[in-house]
Structure 1
Amino acid sequence: MALPESFVSQLTGLFASPAAENPTGAIVEAAYRHAGLNARYVTCEVGPAGLEAAVRGAVAMGWAGFHCSLPHKIAVVKHLDELAQAAELIGAVNCVVIRDGRLIGENTDGQGFLTSLRATVEPKGQRIVILGAGGAARAIAFELALAGAGHILIVSRRREVGEGLARDLRERTSTDASAAHWHTPFAVPADTQILINATSVGLFPDVGAKPEIDYSTVAAQMIVADIIPNPPRTAFLNEVEARGCEVIDGLGMLVNQAVIAIRSWNGIEADAQVMRETLTEIFG
């Protein structure tokens, strides 16, 4: 059977076909249907030993590209021909574009967050606190640094990881950065302008969980974002919104990273509203 004119996939270490387990696939398919595009997005289960063969197979079968989820985001780099600036800085790839047989690695997670944030505030010159120092926090931190953030504070329970990320930001970008060890309820500095939860705390099914911070130090003038899409309205966002903060949910990051990927794969502007509505139906 002939492939659609544009075929993309997700190479994942876990089989994730239900929409709630693979929301990116669901929203990409919804965007394709809405655009009337002859394209498909499927999930492929690929073990670490088969990653190289899967990447070569994607080129051989004429795919437009693919997403990479854990545990492949770092391992896939050595199988690619080129890295975009952000992916090279971050050291991880979540999206691969295939052009003329060449594999180009992107990291769209941070770009998706930045697009979502910019709908509310421009990060240039802002003092930003990021809770967490994992893969998502790293991607977001570098995109904010490239966008000209004034200062980025990384708050991490793993002291050496947080300090390492702050050091990488200082050495590889023009943005100043520092780290704080998260071993007690974290007091948010009074001069913070943007506060971001880049941890998995509050993700379904632990919907009542909140990052361990001193909420009395969260001021009403702060803009607060959460990267968690499920549930869209986390306990963390409810808490800070009650304190007068303007909040940004995690749906925007998930939608925008997919919009960026579709643009790279297919050369079209996907309808972000259709994709967001699809996520709302999935997550409630």
Structure 2
Amino acid sequence: MTSHNFLAALTGSFSTPCADNPTVAMIEAAYRHHGMNARYINCDVKPEGLADAVRGAKAMGWAGFNCSIPHKVAILSHLDRLAESAAIIGAVNCVVIRDGALIGENTDGKGFLTSLTQVMDPAGKTVCLLGAGGAARAIAVELALAGARHLTIVNRDARRGQDIAALITESTPADARFVAWDGAFAVPEDTQILINATSVGLGDAEAMPAIDCDSLRPGLVVADVIPNPPKTALLRAAEKRGCVTLDGLGMLVNQGVISVRLWFGTSPEPSVMARTLEDIFGVR
């Protein structure tokens, strides 16, 4: 393996370094499993160094990279073009470097959508989305582009919630409305998919979003974007009421699968990545 070939296969993440970063671990596991001539490294890139980091990745022949907060919006000015959903979302978390061009993608919503379709096709469905952060925005756009009929955006910050509802209504075929989150939210009876896209429950198995659990009913799909712990308080409550549940591990795995496919044109084995995350999070 020559140095040039090694660098040409590099991918990475522009974020804060962490020795136990689950994304690094699962993607590296996929590379090893498939014998790929690639490495996935985590780089601490400060906002003032983003332009230099992007130029460096391109100069060294990287296949691409992920980027996390605070770079998801700032990266836009350094790219040559955007994929359709990334353009609507207005944020990028995956960059592909192909033939000298930097192409912006957003895998947040795509990873969730891939996971969701294993239990329900969102086409024609009515969705209730808790939260209005970056993940919620990306998920809302992907659901709308996948044919969801109506989205209800529930959030405490009215401005952010209204912004997503307006984005969906004006930029996609779907319809959306904003509902203020004040007290325990009762899931509307016509909802077919409920998604927690907030950070409530992250790292805390007992934390529960403020919802009326009596409004959870059999057959309702309840999804949580939080991967750790995979079995959140919301999902446990939903299971007791006969709901179909979906944890955040699948979203994280599918984000990795999509990123590797975008960079190298081949899809890694999801089960290898899932097992790595299950080991990290102690799921068995």
TM-score, normalised by the number of residues in structure 1: 0.97
Aligned AA (1:15): P
Question: How far apart are residue 128 of structure 1 and its match?
Answer: 0.3
> What residue is the counterpart of 2:214 in the other structure?
216
Question: How far apart are residue 184 of structure 1 and its match?
Answer: 1.1
Question: How far apart are residue 219 of structure 1 and its match?
Answer: 1.2
> What residue is the counterpart of 2:80 in the other structure?
81
1:118-129 equivalent positions in 2, closer than 5 A:
118-129=117-128
Deviations 1:211-234 (A, max 9, x none): 100111111120110000001111
Aligned AA (2:9): S
1:1-284 equivalent positions in 2, closer than 5 A:
2-3=3-4, 4=6, 5-12=8-15, 14-16=16-18, 18-19=19-20, 22-204=21-203, 206-284=204-282
SS at 2:77's partner residue?
helix
Which stretches of structure 1, 4 residues or more, deviate above 6 A after TM superposition? none
Distance 1:108 1:160 in 2: 24
Distance 2:23 2:93 in 1: 12
Question: How far apart are residue 23 of structure 1 and its match?
Answer: 1.2
Question: How far apart are residue 207 of structure 1 and its match?
Answer: 2.1
Deviations 1:99-155 (A, max 9, x none): 011100000110010000001110000000000000000000000000010100000
SS at 1:152's partner residue?
strand
Aligned AA (1:243): R
SS at 2:61's partner residue?
coil
Distance 1:195 1:169 in 2: 17
Distance 2:29 2:219 in 1: 37
Distance 1:269 1:65 in 2: 15
Percent same amino acid at aligned positions? 57
Task: List gaps (5 residues or longer) in structure 2.
Answer: none
SS at 2:12's partner residue?
strand
SS at 1:186's partner residue?
coil
Task: List gaps (5 residues or longer) in structure 1.
Answer: none
Aligned AA (2:266): I
SS at 2:17's partner residue?
coil
Question: How far apart are residue 46 of structure 1 and its match?
Answer: 0.6
Question: How far apart are residue 268 of structure 1 and its match?
Answer: 1.3
Question: How far apart are residue 245 of structure 1 and its match?
Answer: 0.4
Distance 1:79 1:99 in 2: 14
SS at 1:187's partner residue?
coil
Aligned AA (2:3): A
Distance 1:87 1:24 in 2: 21
SS at 2:3's partner residue?
coil
User: What do you get for the CA RMSD once the two structures are aligned?
Assistant: 0.9
Is 261-270 or 49-58 further displaced after alignment?
261-270
SS at 1:178's partner residue?
strand
TM-score, normalised by the number of residues in structure 2: 0.97
Deviations 1:61-86 (A, max 9, x none): 00000000110000000000000001
Question: How far apart are residue 267 of structure 1 and its match?
Answer: 1.5
Deviations 1:172-213 (A, max 9, x none): 011010010001110110111000000010011x22101100
Distance 2:234 2:56 in 1: 42
Aligned length: 279
Kept after mapping to 1: 8 A contact 2:165/2:177: yes
